[in-house]
Amino acid sequence: MEKFQFSLEKILDYRWIQENEAKREYASAQKALNEQEEIFKQIIEEKGELMEIRETTVNRMQIQQWYLLDLNQKLSETMQAINELRGFVEMKLQVYIAAQKERKILEKLSEKQFVEHQIAINREEQKMLDEMANRKRIS
């Protein structure tokens, strides 16, 4: 009997490619989110360090205040970027999960067809063995 060949092998290969692409995009989005979260932490640390510095002159206090306002603006922008990236990461995760499910469905179908193929081979072998046993009895 012929070797097993899954009838939808090319589609399964395509699904693997789609899944790997979705996985890559998810990882990229997650990396961007992690980078923004790291920037956020750095800004908070810098703000904390700035708050510990006590200035004695009015000009230096004013410069410190402007810098503090600038840091607060950066914190706000970074937090907005983090929130947007979290939504984007979640969307990419859902795409990745969907691609994984589609691939697994085809793999299960392939396994099922393989089992059916093995059963057909076993039946064919059993037929041959029965025929050979019948021939021996007749002879």
Per-residue pLDDT of the chain (139 residues; tens, 9 = 90+): 678 888 899 999 999 999 999 999 999 999 999 999 999 999 999 999 888 888 778 888 888 899 999 999 999 999 999 999 999 999 999 999 999 999 999 999 999 999 999 998 999 999 998 888 888 777 6
What's the burial of 40, exposed, middle or buried (CB within 10 Å: 0-12/13-18/19+)?
A: middle
- Inside any domain, residue 61: yes
- Inside any domain, residue 57: yes
- Inside any domain, residue 43: yes
Q: The pTM is what? A: 0.77
Q: How many separate domains does the chain show?
A: 1
- Inside any domain, residue 49: yes
- Inside any domain, residue 25: yes
Segments forming the whole domain that contains residue 44: 9-104
125: left (phi over 0), alpha (psi -120 to 50) or beta: alpha
Number of DSSP helices (H) and strands (E) in the chain, helices first: 2, 0
CATH number for 55: 1.10.287.1700
